[in-house]
Chain A
């Protein structure tokens, strides 16, 4: 089942904050966040495991609410370099091998 991301797109001015949500209809084992700039490969940001932990990467952090079956990515004091499409990837069950299903993406544009 593909996770649903919201919003689909957002425009920010430098220094503003944003939240990107990722929801699943099934219980989640882990959530992976990636950023993809136009014409480039997705780049790993962070992974969150079942347990509601919160992680950070520079001024980007994320939370995982297993009860709500969702994760949120927080971008604070956004920079121009944050522009790109953000994908969450979800794992439903811990199998023998990692299997991640990617969401539809959230396009983020940071303007001066």
Chain B
């Protein structure tokens, strides 16, 4: 079974530029998560999709971050314009989530390491 795919793996941009990340979840997984992981910290949830609908984006800085999940499969996360403090690893995860499963497991992708100069 293929895992969660993400691209690019690394990205270096200057502040005020824009950047986009792509994620393809495990086939059949209804729930997709985007996390931001700053060096030395735990993953912080940015946005959570159930199929192509947003169920939680309370910690997404909506003035600069946006995300979409068209057709309920792959997803893109965009930052525009980027700030220095956006330097982090952006992790995508997916889970079956088709119904409330008490033991639903999140599977993480390899992440995109973003450096903002």
Contact = CB atoms under 8 A, between A and B. Distances in A.
Interface of A: 2, 30, 32, 40-44, 47, 49, 87, 89, 94, 96-105
A21 B92 CA distance: 26
A49 B105 CA distance: 13
Contacts, number: 58
A104 B106 contact: no
**For chain A, what secondary structure do more than half of its interface residues adopt (helix, strand, loop), or is it mixed?**
loop
B41 A97 contact: no
Given A49-B103, A98-B31, A102-B35, 11 more contacts: A42-B91, A97-B56, A97-B100, A98-B100, A98-B104, A99-B48, A102-B42, A104-B42, A105-B40, A105-B41, A105-B42
Given A101-B45, A105-B41, A43 B100 contact: no
B108 A42 contact: yes
**For chain B, what secondary structure do more than half of its interface residues adopt (helix, strand, loop), or is it mixed?**
loop
Chain B's interface size range is: 20 to 34
Contacts of A94: 100, 102
